[in-house]
Amino acid sequence: MAATTPGGAGSPDPARATAPASTLAGALRLLDYWLTVYRRTWKGTIVSSFVTPLLYVVAMGVLLGGFIEGDPAELEGATSYLAFVAPGLVAAQAMTTVIGETTYPVMDMVKWHKVYFGMIAAPLRVGDIMLAHLAFVLFRVALTSAVFLAVMAPFGVFSSVGGVLLAFLVQLLVGLAFATPVYAYAAGAKDESAFNLIFRLGMIPLFLFSGAFFPVANLDAPLELLATITPLWHGVDLTRMLTLGRVDVSAALVHVAYLVVLAALGWRWAARRLQRRLIA
């Protein structure tokens, strides 16, 4: 007869007995935690979520745009500089929001406050923890992008409501494509100095040279090629297609496939690095 004493060979493992049935079920166990985090921190996101979009549109689209001739032949089909720059700003804002949410906050959960170690002892699996955290990040992207698009709507830069709704969904994909690899990088980083590479050599060059503010065709051929293989360019170009109503289906499918593959590869990398950090 199998042993039934605590710790015996035949006794059920308490952790396995209470483990969630699926990754989604495990992530839902953390819903309360992330709701509490947002309730305590939402005031600090007002500037980035509500004020920044308005300032971007006014400064770059209205004021600067007033000095730029709106030639559709030069602005990828846009009839004004505001219509050209608006989708680029939305996609760029999704990127910056994600990087802000998956660098220092992830390191805090692993190194400083070690919240992840408490979660893994709950018991929860690495995938449960990742899914819950990345879902929160996408919630932040959704909120910021929705406000950004709403702020731009009165300026008449969108061709259709359907295009705007699809552009909103694209921001979630752009966010996920950045979130998983940056999350993976942060999960394995030893200290915060590692983030200098992300901000100085990643986020800032992408923000400036991925087609958000000017067509990448204006760059020299090698730089143009480099720009077109970056994830932000794919997000910007796809968003611009949808908001301007000039969708090239084959190009749009390439953009979506690129972002999906990047998100999937980032997830696998993140799972391995977080597993090693928390358990191995």
- Using the predicted structure, report yes or no on whether residue 5 has a pLDDT greater than 50: no
How many residues comprise the chain?
Answer: 280
Alpha helix positions (H), 103-248: 104-107, 115-120, 126-152, 161-188, 195-198, 204-209, 221-228, 231-244
Q: Between 63 and 244, where is the model more confident?
A: 244
- Using the predicted structure, report yes or no on whether residue 47 has a pLDDT greater than 90: no
Q: What is the pLDDT of residue 151?
A: 84
**In contact, 202 and 270? CB cutoff 8 Å:** no
* Residue 154 to residue 93: CA distance in whole angstroms: 19
* Residue 145 to residue 155: CA distance in whole angstroms: 16
Q: Between 155 and 229, where is the model more confident?
A: 229
Task: Calculate mean pLDDT across residues 210-224.
Answer: 92
What would the pLDDT profile of 184-205 be if each residue is shown by its tens digit? Answer: 999 999 999 999 999 999 999 9
- Band of pLDDT at residue 51, cut at 50, 70 and 90: confident
- Using the predicted structure, report yes or no on whether residue 4 has a pLDDT greater than 80: no
Q: What is the pLDDT of residue 272?
A: 97
> Whole-number mean pLDDT of the chain?
88
Angle at Cα 181 formed by Cα 178 and Cα 184, nearest 5°? Answer: 135
Q: Does the global pTM surpass 0.75?
A: yes
Q: What is the pLDDT of residue 66?
A: 66
* Residue 266 to residue 270: CA distance in whole angstroms: 6
Q: What is the pLDDT of residue 67?
A: 64
Contacts 24+ apart (CB under 8 A), 195-203: 195/103, 195/104, 195/107, 198/99, 198/103, 199/99, 202/99, 203/95, 203/96, 203/99
- Using the predicted structure, report yes or no on whether residue 2 has a pLDDT greater than 60: no
